[in-house]
Amino acid sequence: MFIGKSLANVRTLNGFSRGQLAEKVGVTEQAIWQYENGYMSPKLEVVNKLKSIFNVKSSYFYRVDLLDKVNLENIQVQHIAYRSETINSLSKTQSELMHIRFLDSFIKKIESKINYPSNLLLQLRKETIKYFQQNLNVDRETQIKFVAGLAREKIGLPESSNQNLLFLLEKAGAFIFEKKIGETIDAYSLWTEDERPYIILGTIKKTAARRNFDLAHELGHLLLHYKVEFTMLDKKSYRAYEDEAYSFASEFLLPEEVFRKDCKSIVKVSNPDAYIDVKQKWEVSLQAIAMRAYKLKLMEYQQYRYFFMSINKKDYKTLEPLDDKILIRRPMRVKSILQLLFEKGIYSVSNLMDELKVDQGFLTILTGIEKEFFDKYRQNEQKVFTINELTFKHN
């Protein structure tokens, strides 16, 4: 029997409205509604089109999907920290919510034989909340500065570098993924109800320096804004939370004391090229460095204004110096889990595809892990029959 819920879930996962899917398949929007609500089963030719669109097997639509036996309340849409341009887009919000639900279900499926170290980010969040409760009269800027310093220390970032930030966040307990999430979203994050922190990074036009700021920004949301209902905020309130996450990222990536020393020898503070060594050290964009310097009163308003005029004139908004030199690091945690499972023979790519009733493309889209990774392990599954496997019978 065709299961409409499986179609509805995978449609939402891929960000299609019923009308958009109907156009791709060549049926009416009403027909898609009927398929999803169990009033009609699609013909085989329609199922074949659906499986091709969603990178799944035909049988995917005749069985329950990954979400069938999980607690959907574990992922609360109101706790997803989006950028303001997207927060009121219902279709985008529902699509990203579904993606996190699928990811969370997938991870729980593959991790049953894995022992993780303690969740350091969870401990850090609890320490942050305790600090806030004990320092209610301390101004917010001081609070954020303290939490940023505590986070650097606990996560294990070196005193004068942001190298391996992504790796250290994953090691501390974050589940980080890459995804094409559109032009208006840099990244987003959330805590699940069972205390799992997720960070989703956009992949469009990203450099290592900007990615570091996205990571720090989302870490700020995870530590400072636990249980905030982002979808219920008006624009002014949302902007305030975004500003706090931005302040956290600046404090976290460019610690005041060391950063001041870095800027002390700079003569022409309004010249973007004067900060290239600072950028190389911290792996943070020139624009973020200038904003930090201005906030710390290391440059005056006119100098700050001239700095950004120079940024535009040099076309650094498109590509800054070192953007093509600093390595863009990619998430490795879930990839490492899969690698371990594949190499130990606990799972194979084919097993996974058969169990989930999906094609390899589905795994790549869901996890953000490159196609070549799955190709490699599928090739290893293919055994070649050789003469060495032949033996003589003994009478």
Domain boundaries, the chain: 1-65, 67-253+317-395
CATH fold for the domain made of 1-65: 434 Repressor (Amino-terminal Domain) (1.10.260)
3-state secondary structure of 38: coil
What was the pLDDT predicted at 235? 87
Q: What contacts 117, CB < 8 A, 6 or more positions away?
A: 171, 173
The Cα 165–Cα 215 span in angstroms is 8
The Cα 311–Cα 106 span in angstroms is 43
| pLDDT for residue 183 is more than 90 | no
The Cα 366–Cα 330 span in angstroms is 15
3-state helix, strand, coil in the chain (%, to 5): 60, 5, 35
Report the amino acid identity of residue 137.
Answer: N
Residue 185's pLDDT band (boundaries 50, 70, 90)?
A: confident
Residue 232's pLDDT band (boundaries 50, 70, 90)?
A: confident
What was the pLDDT predicted at 393? 53
What was the pLDDT predicted at 22? 98
| pLDDT for residue 385 is more than 50 | no
The Cα 375–Cα 370 span in angstroms is 9
Mind listing the pLDDT tens digit for each residue in 2-38?
A: 999 999 999 999 999 999 999 999 999 999 999 999 9
Average confidence score pLDDT of the chain? 92
Tokens of 311: 């940024």
3-state secondary structure of 326: coil
DSSP code, position 335? H
Longest dimension (CA), the chain: 97
What was the pLDDT predicted at 391? 53
* pTM of the predicted model as reported, rounded to 2 decimal places: 0.92
The Cα 232–Cα 253 span in angstroms is 30
Q: In what order do the strands lie in the sheet with 197-202?
A: 175-179, 197-202, 187-191
CA 97 to chain centre: 12
Q: Are 96 and 80 in contact (CB under 8 A)?
A: yes
Mind listing the pLDDT tens digit for each residue in 282-332?
A: 999 999 999 999 999 999 999 999 999 999 999 999 999 999 999 999 999
Residue 55's pLDDT band (boundaries 50, 70, 90)?
A: very high
